[in-house]
Structures are given as C-alpha cells and as structure tokens.
Structure 1
Amino acid sequence: NGIGYLRQSYFHVNRKSWTWGISLVDPKPTRKKMSKNPLTVILDNNKFIGTNYTDWLRNLRIVLDYENQGYIMDKPFPQTLPDGSSSEERETFERWHADHCKVRRNILASMPNVVYKQYDKLDDVALILQSK
C-alpha cells in the first residue's frame, strides 16, 4: 500500500554508547511479505469458511508438511515436561511448543474474521480441528 510510519530504534553498541536510527515500517505487513513459505498462498486463497473443512484441512496439511510441522496435527499436546528430562527431551519439547504456536497461527490466519472469532480462544490445535 506504500503507506508507512516512522519507528525509532535504539541500539546498545559494544556496551559503551547508545545510538538511534529511524526506519520506515509497513503498519500492516501481509502474510505474503512475512512468510518464507510460498505455499501459504494456498491458505490465503482457500480460507476455512465453515463449510469447506475437508478441502481446507487438506490444504493446511500440504502447507504444514512443507514446513515439517504436520506432526502437530497428529500428536497430542504435551502439557508438561517431566522432572529429570534430558536436554534432548527438553529441546524436543520446546521445539514442539514453538511449532504448535506457528501451526495455530497459520490455522487462525486461514480463517475469515467471522470464523476466526469462534476459534480464537482455543489454545490447542487439536481442539480447533475437532471443533469444526
């Protein structure tokens, strides 16, 4: 849209001095500008409107599989990490939660506002998908 606003940024340089700069920022970045995944256009063009669940779910799976996040739709949400977990288990747990947030965001972004408002309060991807 070409319209932006100025944002001041302060940076601490070498812990000795402060500098500042001004940058032009797009006030409403679109998913196409933010995403590195070219397949998100599929979700932009095929939003879940309530009556197209099967087609939308297929398209969602295509996008998530491309991002290596399809497993989020297939596995239960791990609520806690057991005490005494290894660093590998902790890393897997943290990656799962990060991917879960991304998947939830993609799901909600693929809904028009009217449908989005019905699912926004649900935190678990499985609950969103079951609530069709």
Structure 2
Amino acid sequence: MSLNPLSVILNKNQLVGENYADWKRNLNIVLTAEKHKFVLDEVCLEAPKDDSTESQKAAYEKWHHSDKMAHCYILASVLNVLQQKHQNMETAFDIIESLQEMFGHQSR
C-alpha cells in the first residue's frame, strides 16, 4: 500500500510526550496540506434540517469528513496508550485539547 507522502512525516515523528511541539507542528503541516486543518479551528456546523439548502448540507458533510480524517491522522501518529485514551473522543479538536493539556506545557 502506498502511503501519502505527507503522512510519512507523522509516522516518523510519532507523539511520545516530550516531542509534543514538534509533533503538533508536523500535524498542522499535514492537515493544512490535506485541507482538513479547519476542523481544529472551526466549530462543527449545526446538523442540517429537512429544509436546509444543499450548500448547508454539503458544508456539514465536508466538516464531518475532514474531522474524521483529522481524527485518523492524530490517532495514527500517537503512541498506542494515547490512542486508547483518545479513540472514543467525539472530535479531533477534543483530542487536540486533551493532548495539549497533557503535553502542551512541556518546553523544548
């Protein structure tokens, strides 16, 4: 199976704790290049209703697709123990927030 060249960055720089700042920078690079980073900055749109426009439905679907992709990139690039702790979190933002609380205070 051929890996996305950018995902190799995350494979080689897995989050182990003390490398949080470097890992986060690499994650941002990959998510930006893949056009999924916005889910870490934007709140999920409200679920479309029956009378929602097609563009509203499409925007909602785009956000959810990108969130799932970001979720996968994050979980694939952290230690197994961190995967287990975070795999059931609802959004990629929730995972990042938790990891930030755990490791964000560490300096280089």
What amino acid sits opposite 1:67 in the alignment?
E
Larger proportion of strand: 1
Larger-Rg structure = 1
What amino acid sits opposite 1:64 in the alignment?
L
What amino acid sits opposite 1:122 in the alignment?
M
Uncovered stretches (5+) of structure 2, i.e. residues with no partner: 100-108
Uncovered stretches (5+) of structure 1, i.e. residues with no partner: 1-32
SS at match of 1:122: coil
Q: Which digits, 9 at most, give the CA deviation of each residue in 1:89-128, with x for residues without a partner?
A: 1111111111111110110000121221111121211110
Counterpart selection for 2:5 from 17, 24, 38: 38
Alignment of 1:1-132 (within 5 A): 33-35=1-3, 37-132=4-99
**Number of aligned residue pairs:** 99
What amino acid sits opposite 1:111 in the alignment?
V
Q: 1:84 Cα shift?
A: 2.1
Distance 2:5 2:38 in 1: 20
Structure 2 residue aligned with 1:8: none
Q: Which digits, 9 at most, give the CA deviation of each residue in 1:48-104, with x for residues without a partner?
A: 112222111110010011111111111112352245211011111111111111110
Larger proportion of helix: 2
What amino acid sits opposite 1:39 in the alignment?
L
- Contact 1:81/1:93 (<8 A) preserved: yes
SS at match of 1:92: helix
SS at match of 1:123: coil
TM-score by structure 2 length? 0.82
Structure ranking higher on relative contact order (CA contacts 8 Å, 6+ apart): 2
Aligned-residue Cα RMSD (Å) equals 1.5
SS at match of 2:17: coil
